[in-house]
Amino acid sequence: MRRTFGLTLLVALTLTIIVRVGGQQARGAPRTGEKAPAATPSAEARGVQIGALGGGVPRAGEKAPAATPTSREPEARRGGGVTDQARGGVAPRAGERWWSHIEALANDAMAGRNTGSPEHKRAAEYVATHFANAALEPAGAGGSYIQPVKLITRRIVEAQSSLALVRDGKTEPLSFVDANVSMRVDPAPSVDAPLVFVGYGLNVPEQNINDFQGLNLKGAIVVHISATPRSLPGPLQAHFGSAAERWKMYKAAGAIGTVSIANPKNMDIPWARSTLSRTQSQMALADASLDETGGQQISVTMNPARAETLFAGSGHTFAEQLALVDAGKPVPGFALPSRLKATIRAERGEVESQNVAGILRGSDPKRRDEFVVLSAHLDHLGVADAPINGDRVYNGAMDNASGVAALIEIAARLHDAGTKPARSILFVAVTGEEKGLLGSRYFASHPTVRRSAIVANVNTDMFLPLFPLKTLMVLGLDESDLGQDIRAVAKDEGVAVQTDPEPQRNRFVRSDQYSFIREGIPALAMKVGYEEHSPEAEIAHKWTAERYHAVSDDLSQPVDLSAGDKYIDIVRAVSVRIANRTDRPQWNESSFFKRFAKGATH
């Protein structure tokens, strides 16, 4: 790509304005009760001070954004490999306005929108501008669209740190390439503790699971396989397998740290790619009340290809434990003959990032102060330390510029149609998802509206419109009566609905809907779905293996605009349907997550 990055961003913004002025209609005719499209006043015409947020497009006399590391993406083709299954004539293609926002957010000049970076702030300003253009009320701090989020940063200094196994008086150094120290946990300067293998590593009495039985974890470092028993329903596998829930169990048993080993069959990101991020700054919320790692002195993720060294001298092998997991059988626990000795030197700092929030105010006097939250994360991974195939920019086009662009497009369609649902719809682009759902955790804990007034959350993250949308994957489908709403909307659109076909991937807790669920708010998250072993599944798996958290998640990849457009209209329709319900959404009686509802007992 050429190095005219300021021009690239300006062109992307101009294309958005052209489409905006051109008045591209939302897909399909207005639904019952919706008005015909109305003219859209500009943000400036309504006196919105977008420039006061800082950054943004250069003003007269200012320099263009500094050049950033280049990407391999072709410059010439707007939309890269975009396909449209339903294109005809020369009329604007369905989803093209949505794609223009992805271009603006995921071009090289945005430098991967790393949490707390100047480029992330510029992306937040872009979102705020379009929220204003859609006549959303500011719902951030101080009458703005921005909710500041203060964060702590930590970065390991590997040259001054060390990891080693000590066994039979001999020390075996561990490479940080194969044993990644997580800096989401504030590490102790030094650790020397025994290792205890706990199999799946779960203690859930109500599910008759206790992998700690007969093991002494006091003062130990827990070693576990990042997997859960198949006997657990998919959402519970995800919930109890989360780092926060695991640490609650281990801390209660007296442990001081963890070593997790991934099941190679369930790794979304190849180890050779995931280990590259270990030296980048990791983050935690500055709000100490939201720290869930208290008492944890070290957290290590082990390359499964090197995990046998942990089991040496134990009379067991890692391969044997993996075979039991793959067969769905119980996995035994036992003390390992090694101790883990660690010295960790960390650089610490502080940074501020941005959530962006705007409200489409409801029309019913009794319900307009209740909110359906539509969310998507704005951040991505920033820039790699060293070039990867000649590219350093993690553009994050699908993850998750696509989701934020969907929020912008939904707001625009609702405004164009003059839609005024009974309840208000609160649009929130959150930060820090890639750092551990930090922005949504902060917003769900410190919402800019009354927390008790939030009735539901619908989240969009990396929904992957890679092929025609025939099936909608819905996370949380059977947990609340929101499942009835999405089933009804999908039926109207001629789309089938499915739960997660691959629950072992823990998608239920890996994006921002989980932050709302933990606050007791019924929530859904949706993606373009597929049946197992189908050609579509193969496309999705290939994308994950080659592009997920890779520099190749850029603007040159093939995307089905019609699938993106259809997905957006489904999210728009279900949000309006929920907002127009006479009753509040409720957890299903059978749902485990009902216990998180405020005032609930279980």
First to last CA, the chain: 57
**pLDDT, position 155:** 96
Question: Locate tokens 């409801």: which residue?
Answer: 362
pLDDT surpassing 80 at residue 128: yes
What mean pLDDT, rounded, does the chain reach? 87
For residues 303 and 271, the answer to whether their CB atoms sit within 8 Å is yes
Mean pLDDT of 150-159: 97
Least confident among 78-92, 382-396, 457-471: 78-92
Following DSSP, what letter does each residue of 330-371 receive, concatenated?
----EEEEEEEEEE--EEEEEEEEEEEEEEE--S-TTTTTSE
How far is 250 from 221, CA to CA, in rounded Å? 9
pLDDT surpassing 70 at residue 36: no
pTM for the model stands at 0.85
Residues 6+ apart with CB under 8 A from 183: 154, 155, 156, 281, 282, 346
Structure-block tokens of residue 559: 């995307």
580 vs 598, residue with greater confidence? 580
Beta bridge partners of 546: none
Structure-block tokens of residue 267: 């790794």
**pLDDT, position 542:** 95
Least confident among 473-482, 502-511, 541-550: 502-511
Which one, of 412, 411, 352, 401, lies nearest residue 376 by Cα? 401
**pLDDT, position 93:** 66
Mind listing the pLDDT tens digit for each residue in 338-378?
999 999 999 999 999 999 999 999 999 999 999 999 999 99
How far is 510 from 239, CA to CA, in rounded Å? 10
- In order of 1, 110, 384, 449, 548, the CA distances from 390 in angstroms are 11, 18, 11, 45, 17
Confidence of residue 400 (pLDDT cuts 50, 70, 90): very high
Mean pLDDT of 188-197: 98
Q: Which domains does the chain have, with CATH numbers?
A: 5-22+95-153+350-596 (3.40.630.10), 158-344 (3.50.30.30)
Structure-block tokens of residue 322: 């993996």
How far is 249 from 212, CA to CA, in rounded Å? 10
Q: Give phi and psi for 264, each to the nearest 5.
A: -55, -30
For residues 106 and 9, the answer to whether their CB atoms sit within 8 Å is no
Residues 6+ apart with CB under 8 A from 233: 503, 592
**pLDDT, position 15:** 40
DSSP tag of 65: P
Confidence of residue 230 (pLDDT cuts 50, 70, 90): confident
Mind listing the pLDDT tens digit for each residue in 542-567?
999 999 999 999 999 999 999 999 99
Mind listing the pLDDT tens digit for each residue in 291-305?
999 999 999 999 999
411 vs 592, residue with greater confidence? 411
pLDDT surpassing 50 at residue 169: yes
Cβ neighbour number for residue 597 with a 10 Å cutoff: 17
Mind listing the pLDDT tens digit for each residue in 231-254?
888 888 889 999 999 999 999 999
Which one, of 435, 380, 512, lies nearest residue 112 by Cα? 380
Mind listing the pLDDT tens digit for each residue in 61-111?
333 333 333 333 333 233 445 544 433 344 456 799 999 999 999 999 999
How far is 496 from 47, CA to CA, in rounded Å? 44
Helix pair 96-106, 5-22: axis angle to 10 deg: 160
